[in-house]
Amino acid sequence: MADELIDICDENNKFLNIQKMKSEAHKEGLWHRVSHILVYNSHGEVLLQLRAKKKLLYPDRWDISVAGHVSAGEDPLTSGLREVEEEIGLKLKKEDLDFWMIRKAKVMFREMKNNEFYYVYFFQFDDDIKQLKLQKDEVQKIQFLSINTIKKELKINPDKYVPHGNYWFDILDEVTKRVSALNA
């Protein structure tokens, strides 16, 4: 939740050699990078986090497993590893995360103009989530939910989720492919 220094990009994801505080980037609508890590298991479930009630952006809503801004001078993979350890207490290595794609997202929330490039990674986790340690100022709760449950909930109760739009369904479809490949 703390403000942090981040690198600013143009709308094509090229660095501008400018660094700003995250709060400034959101206020001014400046493009920047974030890491998204999708944790799933071999049963076709996705780990979701309930964002802390005091978060500025989408408090008390269900979101993807782990996400965070890429700090100034940091690469998205290193950022993803740091965020996984900070938010859910899981220490991973670079080879544990499987890069999927970069997604451009432009979102308005209250007075924040959130223009981001998501660097999306996947991680298969078949252990007990009770062993994970949550960063309470970021995450209230985590739980594995089936893909079908999440899809239904997104249609019935969309206000319970961070409004990622079609990105949710793209992620869930990708997890379905990965789990099918595991079980083939």
Give the model confidence (pLDDT) of 18-51 as tens digits. Answer: 999 999 999 999 999 999 999 999 999 999 999 9
Q: What is the predicted pLDDT for the residue at 145?
A: 97
Dihedral angle computed from the Cα positions of residues 152, 62, 56 and 125, in that order, rounded to the nearest 10 degrees: -140
Instruction: Please state, rounded to an integer, the average pLDDT across all residues of the chain.
Output: 94
Q: What is the predicted pLDDT for the residue at 151?
A: 97
Tell me: the pLDDT tens digits for 102-144? Answer: 999 988 777 778 899 999 999 999 999 999 999 999 999 999 9
Q: What is the predicted pLDDT for the residue at 1?
A: 52
Q: What is the predicted pLDDT for the residue at 57?
A: 82
pLDDT band at residue 2, thresholds of 50, 70 and 90? confident
Enumerate domains of the chain plus CATH numbers.
5-182 (3.90.79.10)
68 three-state secondary structure: strand
Q: Is the pLDDT of residue 55 over 70?
A: yes
Residue pair 41/144 in contact by the 8 Å Cβ criterion:
yes
Residue 18 to residue 25: CA distance in whole angstroms: 11
Helix (H) or strand (E) holding 109, with range, is: strand 98-109
> Beta strand pairing status for 32-40 and 66-69?
antiparallel
